[in-house]
Amino acid sequence: MNDKQVGQFFDQLSEDYTAVIERCFPRYREMLWALLDYLPSDRAFTAIVELGCGTGNLSVLLAEAFPEATIRFVDVSSDSLAVCRSRLGDADRLAFERQDFRELNYASGSIDLAISSIAVHHLTSTEKRQLFRQVFDWLSPGGAFCFADQFRGATDALYARHMHHWRELSMTAGSSDDEWNMWMEHQREHDHHDLLADQLGWLAECGFTEVDCVWRYLLWAVVQARKSSVR
């Protein structure tokens, strides 16, 4: 992936992002709800990082859900990050980091929760596996990695059916051919949809436990994994 181009694509979209995503991604809000609702509740999360925060649709919910936590919002698109910051305001506990999340270098055990919504699929399979290893290292014992994203179908036929339904649903929700073509061009150039089963396996290989998919609709799924608190 060329992160500069991904950043530029989302820079250009930053002002209209929320309206566009709500038209084009069916059940987007429900997916964000599932991502937060299923977070483990058996421990406190005081140090949180959001990977690919964009303009902050998840970020505002996260900041509300964890009013005491230190939260780092990371994105490669400076314009999206600026919108995110303007929605959240400045507070000592909130940090806005213009960074490629493949290059983050947090200390081992320094993060309690790593969370992300529709951003990880910009990485290739190899890069995803590398990110999963990194996240595992950052997490404190009992920490969690939870992300919503787009995934392939188990067969090409299922994947094609997902794509067909996605197009139909976004058109019904008011999207246009131009908008659809914009996403498809972006997808061809920058998106890497891997299988959900593969990604659950890669997480387990890194040492994550309690690896599961807690919500799924067409291409979209919410994945959750824990770093065991037993060392």
Contact positions toward ligand SAM, by CB under 6 A? Answer: 3, 6-7, 10, 21, 52-54, 57-58, 74-77, 80, 100-102, 117-119, 122
* Minimum distance of ligand SAM from residue 229's CB (angstroms): 28
Amino acid at 184: M
* Minimum distance of ligand SAM from residue 146's CB (angstroms): 13
Which pair of structure tokens corresponds to residue 195?
A: 């299988």
Helices (DSSP H) in 97-176: which residue ranges? 125-138, 156-172
Can you tell me the distance from the alpha carbon of 45 to that of 147, in angstroms, rounded to the nearest whole number? 16
Interacting residues of 142 by C-beta distance below 8 A, sequence separation 6+? 42, 43, 112, 226, 227, 228, 229
Q: Which residue is nearest to ligand SAM (CB)?
A: 54
For residue 211, give the DSSP letter.
Answer: E
| Comparison of 43 and 190: residue with beta carbon closer to ligand SAM | 190
* Minimum distance of ligand SAM from residue 230's CB (angstroms): 32
| Comparison of 204 and 213: residue with beta carbon closer to ligand SAM | 213
| CA dihedral of residues 62, 6, 183, 32 (deg, nearest 10) | -10
| Comparison of 206 and 222: residue with beta carbon closer to ligand SAM | 222
| Comparison of 43 and 187: residue with beta carbon closer to ligand SAM | 187
Can you tell me the distance from the alpha carbon of 13 to that of 206, in angstroms, rounded to the nearest whole number? 34
* Minimum distance of ligand SAM from residue 6's CB (angstroms): 5
Helix or strand or coil: residue 112?
Answer: strand
* Minimum distance of ligand SAM from residue 4's CB (angstroms): 10
| Comparison of 3 and 179: residue with beta carbon closer to ligand SAM | 3
